[in-house]
Amino acid sequence: MGTNSALAFSTLKEVANKLLPVSTLDDLSTDFTKAQTILASTILFILSAILKYG
């Protein structure tokens, strides 16, 4: 999963509880977790680059 897909899954997670059945949310839970991991590592990478290079 790329950063763009991770952002899309993260956005979907915010509204999915109102839109999707519980069974679908369960099916997507792995993708939601993976998306959060990717976005967290991307944010850490960006912050470390800012601190290193100003």
The list of the chain residues with pLDDT below 70 reads none
Enter the pTM of the model. Answer: 0.79
H, E, C per residue of 15-45: HHHHHCCHHHHHHHHHHHHHHHHHHHHHHHH
Burial class (CB in 10 A: 0-12, 13-18, 19+), 35: buried
Which structure tokens are listed for 44?
């850490």
